[in-house]
Structure 1
Amino acid sequence: MLSSIAMVLTLSAISVIFFLCSPTVAILLGRLTLPSPLVGPESIEFDRNEGGPYVGVSDGRILKFGAPNEGFKEYAFTSPNRNKTICDGLADFSEVQARCGRPLGLRFNHVTDELYVADAYSGLIKIGPNGGAPTQLFNGIQPQQGNDNTTIQFLDGLDIDINTGIVYFTQASANYRFKDIQTLESSRDQSGTLFSLDPRTNETRVLMRGLAWASGVAVSRDGSFVLVSEYLANRIQRFWVRGPRANSSELFVQLTVRPNNIRINPRGEFWVAVNGVLGPNPPPRPAILPGALRISENGIVLQIVPLVRELGDEEISEVHEHNRVLYAGSLHASYLPISTPF
């Protein structure tokens, strides 16, 4: 009988073959355009009444899409020191963005109707049911090696266990900030971290260290494990929360593309946003950029959806399935494409 690790590796090999041979073409339904000059709807969320989508954008605000004739309107912001005069309309990678905030991962707790946000600069925050100002829960600050007077952070992905309310979130890197993302992308950094926060006790735990750009995170349907993607390592790892392997981790799937955010769908499967091979030694085949993988709880790729038509040459950050359609997030696009792969 194959060992657990060998089985995962076998499934990974099958996944790669499936990825190369069986793409599904998505049908573009439309685009939801952000107010100019805002960009970067990196993560997508809906509230418990199916309102939305909600997106975080480049000037530190959370926007909510209303009626088609209304478009996106301000719902909340993520920096406690945000100045509207300075920040409104800000583009990404600005020097003042640390003051304005940069929301990345978004998830609602559908029991409390609070919106949790992993902000690249402001840390883990939550927004009350009526939007508005943030409450900071965790600032993610770690001292930079060799300089105790400098602190840096870069929170990225986030998910919530619907059964317990525990929040799982990632710090992409302890050595680079969000404004240095292009440098991080070409590095061999392995300083990412997976955390958990229990809102009932305010206890924060470090679950995994040494991750190569810890980007996306997703909780399984039964809450027994958490997936975390390593963007620079082309892989997804599984951390066991409960059961006989609790507090241990293993390889979930090895890919030939770079995985970003992970979202669970209503059937307990995972949508992974992926971008083409960007490493120094890519295989001798065209890069698949951008796209989405639908993966089973056992690490088998069930469906591949190229999203070049939807996003062009923009890198994809997240794929959110809602009412059988896909919403595709991006760190640089000025719109949110909607398509169906079914």
Structure 2
Amino acid sequence: MSRSPQVGIADGNGWRDHLAERADAIKSAGRWRSTRTYDSLGPSGTLDHGPDPVVTFASNDYLGLSSHPAVIEAASAATHRWGTGAGASRLICGTRPVHDELQAELADWKHTEAALVFPTGFAANLGVLTVLGGPGVRIVSDELNHASIIDGARLAGAEVAIYPHLDLAAASALITEWPGRSVLVTDAVFSMDGDAVDMEEAVERCAQLGAALVVDEAHSVWGPNLSGPAGPLDAPPVVRVGTLSKSLGAMGGFVAGPRAVIDLLVNAARPFIFSTGLSPGDAAAALAALHLVRSPEGRALVRRVRAHTDRLTPNHPSPIVPVIIGDEHRAVAASEDLLDLGYWVPAIRPPTVAPGTSRLRITLSAAHDDEHIDGLLAALDRLGLR
């Protein structure tokens, strides 16, 4: 016989108050967020059902491939052939021929023995770090690494050591003092500052110290990059993590590296084993986008977004250009002022960035035209933001 719950716990064990208190704390700190609806195909659309179009400089669709006709057609054709979802995890019955094709192309692109596709880039980082980490391993991580790297390191059950941003000498010291195996993990391009690691130095230091290297290339558009295999077969692994959702304009993530690492991920990476496989449409879209990236058209798109970036900040290493404001409220106000002028550049504030470093994060895309860039520069000048 079922028993009705004891509501003598009048407030549900304090949950109602707890949730309200947490929400109030965020609101009182001025950090409450909500999603905004952007209706667009490409860089211009309507925001929150407003009447006037705005141009976004917030998307990570760096090459504009999410709206490329060939990418859309590939997703449509795959969906008609295999359906909207994979139906199961990849190890059960969720692997389709397009997954195999995509992985082979990714491995060739990244000059590695093999590659493995995950449902998201976040899942890819969780998978690789929890498999390479563990008891007796030290994960040495840049202090500004992406949240997925931070969470993967925490879940790995390894010793975690943080080094100052881009200070590879400090990272080497943390590796040297550890008696066991080490993994150096770093973003290639950092998502909030748009700066980049010295990839050659990172590879050289790891090879000298016998440490594995994991590089998250999610925001790499024209580099830094690894040009080929790193070291002999018995060298510590160099593992390249990437996303299908930024420069490739689709959805998903991947890990590329030595066959031994990829085979182990298939058998031990929980985000791979226990997640439904990437949808066939997303896999096909990513494959079509990758073909474009590796073509003359793709190289022209890279040159275009680089030219846009140089108009804001010459020789900047990525299409991510921060405008540091500092105060959170001023950053939000600056974002709203830009929006009033027709340009959507969201404010980035704690906890995404450190207190006192709130900013506007401008991201450039090959989908922007010269008129978009002209307008943004004029708006920034008008508001005294550059």
**Smaller-chain TM-score range?**
under 0.3
TM (norm. structure 1) is 0.25
Q: Which has the larger radius of gyration?
A: 2
- Identify the structure with the greater helix proportion: 2
- Identify the structure with the greater strand proportion: 1
